[in-house]
Amino acid sequence: MAKGKYDLRVYPGFRAITLLCLVILYSPLIVVMAYSFNASPSITNWEGLSLRWYADVFTGPESAKFKAAARNSFVIALIAATVATAIATLSATAILRGGKFRLRTVSFGLISLPLMVPEIVTAVATLIFFNAIGFDRGLLTILLAHITFCIPFAYLPISARMQGIEATYEQAAMDLYATKRQAFTRVLLPLMAPGIVSGFILAFIVSLDDFIITNFVKGAGVETLPTAIFGAVKQGIKPNIMAISTMLLGVSVVMVTLSWLISRKDRKT
């Protein structure tokens, strides 16, 4: 009689599909990364390894445009993520530590609204809004729009973290003569730190990545990296674009990995 484990949890083929899934997810990125090191100016032929397109990004004819776009992108991402994280932290405290109140569900719904409204609709609405109130489009409009859609991304890890912190910690602090403000800053906030860092990082990446909304609310001549890349890609995919993409991809992957390591280390302790 045949022996061997009959494992109910194992479905034949599922492992293969998972691997196929990873291949689909990673092969385009790996191919672009590989071709960014191609010596050839053609994107079709391979002529050996070279860093010339990276040099081209920093010193080539378009370097000034890309540098300005990169500076805009990072400054906006930094400010938008900081502001969004602060707003999200305060909101999470109110929603999870503010007892039961009528506007609780409504507030949560409002915070998650940018996730539910299709991006293109948000983009159109924001553009029309700035137009209607006569607000000149430029860096500031981009920043305001970014803060808005970063809030839910910062909120999710922060609230998840706060849900895991029992209220008894703050109660213990107050029992030991801390005021509510002290209980918040000395006990809750330090315990929240990993969630706040994750929230900030996610908000930063989401801001850095955004194309559609930025494309609508940016003023003429103002570019962020994604809009600059999109503009360039419309003329065809060039090797220097692949070099920029690879660098930007690297930033995202490093930051996500960082956020993952923080949350994982935190879970172990």
Q: In whole angstroms, what is the distance from residue 171 CA to residue 176 CA? A: 9
Q: Among the candidate windows 55-63, 74-82, 121-129, 189-197, which touches other proteins by CB under 8 A?
A: 121-129
DSSP letter string, 9-58: T--TTHHHHHHHHHHHHHHHHHHHHHHHTBSSSSSSS---B--HHHHHHH
SS3 224: coil
Pick out residues in 190-249 that bind other proteins (CB under 8 A): 205, 208-209, 211-212, 216, 226, 229-230, 233, 237, 241-242, 245, 248-249
- The mark string for 46-85 relative to other proteins (x by CB under 8 A, - otherwise) is ----------------------------------------
**Structural tokens at position 27:** 């092969």
Q: How far is the CB of 18 from other proteins (least distance, A)?
A: 4
Displacement of CA 116 from its chain's centroid (Å):
16
When the beta carbons of 196 and 241 are compared against other proteins, the nearer one is: 241
Q: How far is the CB of 17 from other proteins (least distance, A)?
A: 4
- Does residue number 39 form part of the binding site for other proteins (CB under 8 A)? no
Which residues 6+ apart lie within 8 Å of 92 measured at CB?
Answer: 155, 158, 159, 162
- The mark string for 157-196 relative to other proteins (x by CB under 8 A, - otherwise) is ------x---x--xx--xxxxxxx--xx------------
Q: Which member of 61, 132, 134, 136 binds other proteins (CB under 8 A)?
A: 132
